[in-house]
Amino acid sequence: MEMHPVTTQPGRQKDIDEDVLDLGDDAQDDCQPSKFLADALCYVLPPCWLRSILVVPQQKEAVVLRCGHYAGTLSEPGMTCNNPVGRTIHWVSTQLQSMNLPVRGTSTVLDANGNPLLVAAVVFYRIVNTYRATFKVNNTDQFIRVQADAILKQVIAKYPYEADGDQKSLRVHSDTIAQEMAQELQPLVEPAGIVIDSYKLAELSYAPMIAAAMLKRQQAKAVVEARQSIVFGAVDIAAQAATQIQQLEGVEMTDSDRAMLVSNLMTVLCSETDERS
């Protein structure tokens, strides 16, 4: 059985080579005697051949260390042979993964107006450089969680939950703001070999401590807008009615008659009293 060397994907070889330079020439030279010894033991001891067989699953990569030093990455799925003497393997998944923020429930974040909001988000990401994910950070999940949580609070604090006019608001422009969070998060996690696929706001609402007051505010604003629409419509109807009546043949209206007509129509049209049988 022939031993196959550890391989890496061509598209990422340059990045890995640059990262390996951080190990230093002395550290690589120190490993050479151990590497030769490992190769010799593998050929001398037949049981080592049994442990040399590895199966690399789909969407997983094996970062191989030999004698404590980086030896390469097994990225091609399938069965392969690799010298087991002095070998340590770190398995890294390259599948699309998701992370909930926070881990359970929601977190309280202040918007641009200082209103406390209940916020929950989901980050979708994948690891594209397994070398960096293994050696540049201690815990990939914890690293992403800390960075994503910081970006969440930072971006939410830039916008109000509700806004008038064309100003961006969290309630109306949540998708656009989520894209902004993904763009700001990407440079922070790139050194760990991570690509952010998307950043979604799963929940966004007022905190219970002010939810009741904000609901009353929304209701009052809706009532005012509805009354404005009713008044504007009533004015148009009353003006058109007065003009059409005055244009009728044989009908003469004084200014007081016209004012009385408009007043009566406005009273009827703007009345909130419902007729019930």
In the predicted structure, residue 25 carries a pLDDT above the cut 50: no
| pLDDT of res. 261 | 77
In the predicted structure, residue 128 carries a pLDDT above the cut 80: yes
Please give the residue that has the higher pLDDT: either 14 or 105: 105
Please give the residue that has the higher pLDDT: either 241 or 51: 241
In the predicted structure, residue 267 carries a pLDDT above the cut 60: yes
Instruction: Please report, for residues 127, 155, 168, the alpha-carbon distance to residue 193 in angstroms, rounded to integers and kept in the order given.
Output: 6, 23, 32
Place of tokens 């059409």: 244
- Give, in degrees to the nearest 5, the angle at Cα 273 between 272 and 277: 145
Range 165-178 average pLDDT: 89
Please give the residue that has the higher pLDDT: either 244 or 200: 200
Please give the residue that has the higher pLDDT: either 14 or 194: 194
| pLDDT of res. 177 | 94
What pTM, to 2 d.p., does this model score? 0.65
113 DSSP assignment: T
Range 30-52 average pLDDT: 55
Place of tokens 């909001």: 117
Other beta carbons within 10 angstroms of residue 195's beta carbon come to: 14
Among residues 41, 67, 63, which one has the least CA distance to residue 54? 63
Banded pLDDT at 126 (limits 50, 70, 90): very high
Highest mean pLDDT among 51-60, 147-156, 212-221: 147-156
Q: Give rounded-to-5 percent helix, strand, coil for the chain.
A: 50, 20, 30
Banded pLDDT at 154 (limits 50, 70, 90): very high
Angle between helices 140-156 and 174-189 (to 10 degrees): 140
Banded pLDDT at 81 (limits 50, 70, 90): confident
| pLDDT of res. 122 | 95
Task: Provide the token pair at 148.
Answer: 């994503």
| pLDDT of res. 115 | 87
| pLDDT of res. 93 | 94
Please give the residue that has the higher pLDDT: either 244 or 177: 177
In the predicted structure, residue 142 carries a pLDDT above the cut 60: yes
Banded pLDDT at 145 (limits 50, 70, 90): very high
Range 206-217 average pLDDT: 72
- For residues 199-221, one letter each, b for 16 or more C-beta atoms within 10 angstroms of the residue's C-beta and e for the rest, the string is bbbeebebbeeeeeeeeeeeeee
Range 154-160 average pLDDT: 93
C-alpha 145/C-alpha 185 separation (Å) is 11
C-alpha 194/C-alpha 143 separation (Å) is 10
C-alpha 125/C-alpha 127 separation (Å) is 7
